[in-house]
């Protein structure tokens, strides 16, 4: 299966674009450079890990790559919201996207564990 053409990859790619735009906003408008950098790193690595997982790595490696970054991204989003760098409406929208990607990845990981 070419995961790079999958729905989850496409969603992760679009999510990465949102994350880059959020980072740009946070650094240019809010002058926040620490947590936003972590958000940028974790949020853009979701799609990169999906692409890398397609490269024929082991099942264990695949599971590890698929499960970590979405949770970390949601952590940074929550922190930025609670520090008043991200408004509630924007937080809910992007957090929902992260949650959706995380659920899809979790289902993929569960399926690979059964195989």
Please count the other Cβ atoms lying within 10 Å of the Cβ belonging to residue 45.
20
Tens of pLDDT, residues 32-52:
999 999 999 999 999 998 888
Q: What average pLDDT does the segment 70-89 reach?
A: 97
The residue ranking higher by pLDDT, 24 or 68, is 24
Unique residue bearing structure tokens 């970054």? 69
Tens of pLDDT, residues 90-104:
999 999 999 999 999
Reported pTM = 0.89
Task: List, in order of start, the domains of the chain with CATH numbers.
Answer: 3-114 (1.20.1440.60)
Half-sphere exposure of 64 (CA within 13 A, CB side): 5
Q: Environment class of residue 96 by beta-carbon count within 10 Å: exposed (0-12), middle (13-18) or buried (19+)?
A: exposed
């Amino acid at each position: 299966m070419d995961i790079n053409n999958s729905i989850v990859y496409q969603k992760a790619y679009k999510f990465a674009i949102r994350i880059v735009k959020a980072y740009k906003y946070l650094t240019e408008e809010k002058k926040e450079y620490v947590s936003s950098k972590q958000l940028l790193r974790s949020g853009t690595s979701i799609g990169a890990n999906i692409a890398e997982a397609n490269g024929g790595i082991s099942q264990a490696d695949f599971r590890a790559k698929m499960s970590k970054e979405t949770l970390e991204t949601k952590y940074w989003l929550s922190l930025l919201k609670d520090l008043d760098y991200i408004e509630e409406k924007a937080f809910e929208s992007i957090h929902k996207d992260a949650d959706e990607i995380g659920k899809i990845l979790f289902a993929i990981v569960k399926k690979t564990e059964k195989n």
